């Protein structure tokens, strides 16, 4: 840590207080914890102090340094404010003097061949967003452009084009989307769920799963949930992760709530890893004789590291027990809870 050179330097007691508060807020050495990590504060030069700490606690466990940088940043801001070392805020710029940068324009249209093309801005950011939405990038003598194959179903063409337009507009691009490709225009009073369009789509997938008459139809319906790139679980994981990051950006001190969203995103990721290879196993089970399928009533024991992915909350377990016909008052069953210490994020 360094003090502001425009302000008087801190005393030894003030630097000691700063060091203790920083190791406390990160959890390296909380107050009153006899098994905390060992640490030392060194003041070997004016206006700065270095803190060195081990990550191994005295009880043998390891300190989880996840998001320590955010906690340190928030605490340093509070310390600077309390010690009057916070720099003065810059004078606001009047709206008349603000610099307005024209937004790049992108046009997404349906071609007579049945394809969908995106033309206009050709920078790397717009190209990345279009590829993420599902467009194919083409580079030839006409330059860089993006399009959807003509074999893309009509419903998918509209969904991909609308998704691409939403992401581009969020990145401050001026997007001109053909009305026939804009699925948002079709969400009128007939939508019983109002603005919850995603929930309505998942209900439609649920109906398709229940109405499946063979394994092929069931695989097609479940693929909407478990596709590795465009499935519903992947989109939910991305949304939870983005919500946690946005909470941190908007509210520096709301890191606990951001951690909960990050942990929820990792929980969904664990569920995805639990279902890897589902399509092959489902296809194999459809080829088994009916008698053999009926005898397979239990699944092999899951590895301990992946048991958190299928954890059931007590409320859900109680609801399932009460809804089952012919069941009496059963004793409480053990519930597997995921660890509260989030691990490194994976994609």
Max Cα separation, the chain?
A: 83
**Mean pLDDT in residue range 138-163:** 82
Length of the chain in terms of residues written: 347
pLDDT for the residue numbered 54 = 93
Residue 298 has pLDDT above 70, yes or no: no
pLDDT for the residue numbered 337 = 43
Question: Locate tokens 């709206």: which residue?
Answer: 95
For 42-60, what is each residue's pLDDT tens digit?
988 888 999 999 989 999 8
**Mean pLDDT in residue range 166-178:** 86
Question: Please, which pLDDT band fits residue 210 given cuts at 50, 70 and 90?
Answer: confident
pLDDT for the residue numbered 53 = 93
Distance CA 118, CA 103 (A): 16
Q: Is 168 exposed, middle or buried (0-12, 13-18, 19+ CB in 10 A)?
A: buried
Whether the pTM exceeds 0.75: the reply is: no
pLDDT for the residue numbered 344 = 47
Contact 198, 184 (CB under 8 A): no
Residue 173 has pLDDT above 80, yes or no: yes
Question: Please, which pLDDT band fits residue 93 given cuts at 50, 70 and 90?
Answer: low
For 69-86, what is each residue's pLDDT tens digit?
878 888 888 888 888 776
pLDDT for the residue numbered 305 = 40
Residue 109 has pLDDT above 80, yes or no: yes
pLDDT for the residue numbered 186 = 55
- Between 284 and 264, whose confidence is greater? 264
pLDDT for the residue numbered 324 = 47
Pick from 52-56, 125-129, 249-253 the range whose average pLDDT is largest: 52-56
pLDDT for the residue numbered 292 = 47
Question: Please, which pLDDT band fits residue 144 given cuts at 50, 70 and 90?
Answer: confident
- Between 25 and 294, whose confidence is greater? 25
Residue 1 has pLDDT above 90, yes or no: no
Mean pLDDT of the chain: 76
Pick from 94-103, 127-136, 251-260 the range whose average pLDDT is largest: 127-136
SS3 letters for the chain?
Answer: CECCCCCCCCCHHHHHHHHHHHHHHCCCCCCCCCCCCCEEEEEEECCEEEEEECCECCCCCECCCCCHHHHHHHHHHHHHHHCCCCCCCCCCCCHHHCCCCCCCEEEEEECCCCCEEEEECCCHHHHHHHHHHCCEEEEECCEEEEEECCCCCHHHHHHHHHHHHHHHHHCCCEEEECHHHCHHHHCCCCCCCCCCHHHHHHHHHHHHHHCCCCHHHHHHHHHHHHCCCCCHHHHHHHHHHHHHHHHHHHCCCCHHHHHHHHHHHHHHHHHHHHCCCHHHHHHHHHCCCHHHHHHCCCCCCCCHHHHHHHCCCHHHHHHHHHHCCCCCCCCCCCCCCCCCCCCCCCC
Percent of the chain with pLDDT over 90: 10
Listed in sequence order, the residues at least 6 apart from 129 whose beta carbon sits closer than 8 Å to its beta carbon are 164, 167, 168, 171
Contact 41, 47 (CB under 8 A): no
pLDDT for the residue numbered 328 = 45
Structure-block tokens of residue 293: 């399928």
pLDDT for the residue numbered 134 = 86
Residue 24 has pLDDT above 90, yes or no: yes
């Amino acid at each position: 840590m360094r003090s502001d050179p425009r302000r008087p330097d801190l005393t030894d007691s003030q630097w000691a207080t700063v060091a203790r508060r920083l190791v406390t807020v990160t959890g390296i050495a909380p107050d009153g914890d006899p098994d905390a990590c060992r640490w030392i504060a060194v003041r070997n030069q004016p206006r700065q102090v270095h803190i060195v700490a081990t990550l191994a606690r005295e009880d043998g466990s390891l300190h989880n340094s996840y998001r320590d940088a955010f906690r340190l940043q928030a605490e340093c801001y509070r310390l600077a404010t309390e010690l009057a070392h916070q720099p003065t805020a810059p004078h606001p710029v009047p709206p008349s003097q603000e610099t307005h940068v024209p937004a790049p324009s992108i046009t997404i249209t349906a071609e007579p061949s049945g394809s969908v093309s995106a033309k206009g801005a050709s920078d790397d950011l717009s190209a990345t967003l279009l590829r993420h939405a599902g467009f194919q990038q083409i580079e030839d003598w006409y330059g860089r452009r993006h399009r959807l194959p003509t074999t893309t179903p009509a419903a998918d063409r509209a969904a991909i084009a609308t998704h691409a337009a939403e992401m581009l507009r969020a990145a401050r691009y001026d997007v001109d989307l053909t009305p026939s490709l804009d699925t948002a225009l079709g969400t009128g009073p007939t939508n019983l769920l109002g603005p919850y369009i995603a929930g309505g789509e998942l209900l439609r997938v649920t109906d398709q799963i229940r109405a499946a008459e063979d394994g092929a139809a069931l695989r097609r319906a479940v693929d909407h949930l478990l596709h590795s790139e465009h499935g519903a679980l992947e989109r939910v994981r991305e949304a939870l992760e983005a919500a946690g990051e946005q909470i941190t950006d908007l509210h520096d001190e709301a890191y606990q709530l951001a951690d909960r969203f990050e942990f929820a995103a990792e929980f969904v990721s664990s569920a995805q890893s639990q279902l890897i290879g589902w399509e092959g196993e489902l296809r194999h089970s459809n080829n088994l004789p009916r008698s053999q399928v009926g005898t397979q009533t239990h699944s092999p024991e899951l590895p301990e590291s992946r048991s958190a992915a299928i954890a059931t909350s007590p409320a859900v377990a109680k609801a399932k027990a009460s809804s089952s016909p012919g069941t009496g008052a059963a004793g409480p069953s053990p519930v597997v809870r995921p660890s509260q210490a989030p691990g490194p994020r994976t994609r």
